[in-house]
Amino acid sequence: MEGEPPSMNDKREMLCHFLATLAYRVTKALREAPADFPNFRIAPQVRTPHELVCHITNVLGFGRTYFVGGSWPSRVPTKFDSDITAFYEILAELSKKLQKGSPLFGTTEERLLQGPFSDAMTHAGQLAMLRRLAGSPIRPENFIMASIQTDNVGPDQPPAAAPDREWPEGPEAPPGSQSSKA
């Protein structure tokens, strides 16, 4: 009908779910992290968790330019809490643009996924890996069972629905033990 926003297609629904999954995974990687985790640096020239959060925001901001044009000003770390807020804000903005059917300029939904969205998810995995390397690993879970809601791209994410019961390499694991789970 005239005057109504275009309905969201399957591709955009999947991208919205992807962004909600990204919010879930980043939240999981940051939840209950030690106070010094944002500045943990594993080696020279390797991003800290704080720098990664800003980089994820920048990557998603680049994706935003395909909706609004222009460029995205590169975010550099300031205060960790405000940089985390900026990450969730760009997720919310992208999700709304997808839901509203906002047109894309110079790209497709598939290219958003293969480019900035997938890049952001890769960096979410790096945050989780850095937690382990910083001595504060996060419990693995069956992500298929995660309670991810497409309309929740904010920091208020639910706890794991199906955490792994066995966690041999977890904080209480005896030295030298290995996990058979990925």
Ordered structural domains, the chain, with CATH: 10-145 (1.20.120.450)
Q: What's the token pair of residue 88?
A: 């969730």
* Residue from 1, 10, 2, 4 nearest 98 by CA: 10
State which amino acid sits at residue 112. Answer: L
Q: What pTM does this model have?
A: 0.90
Specify the residue for token string 């962004």. Answer: 19
| Positions in the chain whose pLDDT score sits under 70 | 1-7, 172-182
Helix (H, G, I), strand (E, B) or coil at 163: strand
Q: Tell me, what's the pLDDT at 1? A: 39
Specify the residue for token string 């944002």. Answer: 38
Q: Tell me, what's the pLDDT at 170? A: 81
Beta bridge partners of 141: 163
